[in-house]
Amino acid sequence: MTVYYMAEKIAVPNLTVLLFGVPLALIPNALLSEGFQLFVGQSWSALLSAYPKTVEYIWLFGRMFGAHMIAIAVLIIAITLKSFRRGENWSW
């Protein structure tokens, strides 16, 4: 198995992290509200009407988490596709 082929296989899970981070950063309401309802058993709108500042904090936290996921995924994909392919020791 060549290093080139291994690099592409290693990059696939990082692409999934990137693809999950983008909607989380852009539209956290769509992802976080469903998870809230499944976890707590209450509707998202009930939380929004009772505690609007808490919902804003959850949205901010979700957006920041998505932004961090995007940044880390882009960095790891770049390392995998560039340095790992070259066989640089630090990328292992």
Each residue's pLDDT expressed in tens, for the chain with a length of 92 residues = 565 567 677 778 888 899 999 999 999 888 888 888 888 888 888 999 999 999 999 999 999 999 999 999 998 888 887 777 777 777 66
pTM of structure: 0.77
Cβ within 8 Å of residue 74, ≥6 positions away: 18
pLDDT of residue 56: 92
Q: How far is CA 57 from CA 13, 48, 64, 85, in A?
A: 29, 11, 10, 41
pLDDT of residue 4: 59
pLDDT of residue 1: 54
pLDDT of residue 37: 86
Instruction: Report the number of distinct structural domains present in the chain.
Output: 1
Range of the domain at 11: 3-91
